[in-house]
Amino acid sequence: MKVLAIDTATENCSAAVLVDGSVQSREIEMERGHAERILPMVDELLAEAGIALRDLDAIAFGRGPGSFTGVRLAVTVTQGLAFGANLGVVPISDLRAVAQRAFRADATLTRALVCNDARMSEVYWACFERGGDGLARLEGEERVSKPSEVKLPPTWSTATAIGRGFIAYADALRAAVGSAVRLDPPPATPAGGELAERGAPAGLDAAAASVGAGSLLHLLPHAIDIALLAAPEVAAGRLLAAEAATPIYLRDNVAHVAQPKAPATPP
């Protein structure tokens, strides 16, 4: 199986190529400039793997939620590459990718509450459980809300906090979820505010090295995890046509709820 995965939904711009159980990747954390970096990453990875775009079985991409510009970029790049090589695509949730990255980093984790900073004093959040196959499975639905509205599923008594929403809104989220959610202290921000671009060693076990030793609260989506989550879909032939690749913003889905009711028209 040969899968290319890309993600530009957050500050972490990343790409990965999964070939028959081995993975190579690139990532760089940056505030802007993803459009200039993602295609060179793809070209480098394909060259290292010794394959052409047309040799792939599918392209997976982070479909959001995330920044509007970043999610749209991932969709546009995926469509362009897939159209040119006549490939199917697999959309993967960026919240699920963060959960999978945490599960990959810590084999003892079984349940995760992922909160990503959605700006505007809100978080993107969802709950995930490690499945029997080791992959993150969504429990309930993905949402965008005020931190005070975040909660665990009724049947859960505990979970581990994952993602930078717990850094941006630490006090509000602690108040919302209480002691049921384990929070690790966040690490210091990387010097210069930008992480160096790096590749992952071959092999899925070795790929865990790309997670690093930082707090789980600091994790962002990574293309490695998007590739891992997409692999069963590719194996089962559950692919979308390139034109069916669409972004998921979440905020658009609830925007109408937040609008005040228009005043009644006087008779």
User: Between β-strands 159-162 and 111-117, what pairing exists: parallel, antiparallel or unpaired?
Assistant: parallel
- Cα distances (angstroms) measured from residue 261 to each of 101, 109, 122, 145, 265: 41, 44, 22, 19, 12
Q: Hey, CA dihedral for 34, 39, 43, 49, is it positive or negative? A: positive
Q: At what angle are helices 68-85 and 34-49 packed, to 10 degrees?
A: 40
Band (pLDDT 50/70/90 cuts) for residue 239 is: very high
Residue 251: predicted pLDDT: 82
Q: What is the pLDDT of residues 109-124, one digit of tens each?
A: 999 999 999 999 999 9
Q: What is the pLDDT of residues 180-217, one digit of tens each?
A: 998 865 443 333 333 333 444 444 544 444 444 358 99
Q: What is the pLDDT of residues 33-82, one digit of tens each?
A: 999 999 999 999 999 999 999 999 999 999 999 999 999 999 999 999 99
The fraction of the chain above a pLDDT of 70, given in percent, is 82
* Torsion angle of the four alpha carbons 134, 139, 143, 145, in this order, in degrees rounded to the nearest 10: -110
Residue 3: predicted pLDDT: 98
Q: What is the pLDDT of residues 127-155, one digit of tens each?
A: 999 999 999 999 999 999 999 999 999 99
Report yes or no: 41 and 77 within 8 Å, Cβ to Cβ: no
Report yes or no: 67 and 9 within 8 Å, Cβ to Cβ: yes
Examine the pLDDT at 225 and tell me if it is beyond 50.
Answer: yes
Residue 221: predicted pLDDT: 98
Report yes or no: 161 and 219 within 8 Å, Cβ to Cβ: no
Q: How far apart are CA 160 and CA 55, in angstroms?
A: 39
Mean pLDDT of 158-163: 96
Q: How far apart are CA 78 and CA 264, in angstroms?
A: 46
Give the lowest-confidence range in 7-21, 170-184, 227-241.
170-184
Strand order in the sheet with 136-145: 136-145, 123-130, 111-117, 159-162, 181-182
Global pTM reads 0.86
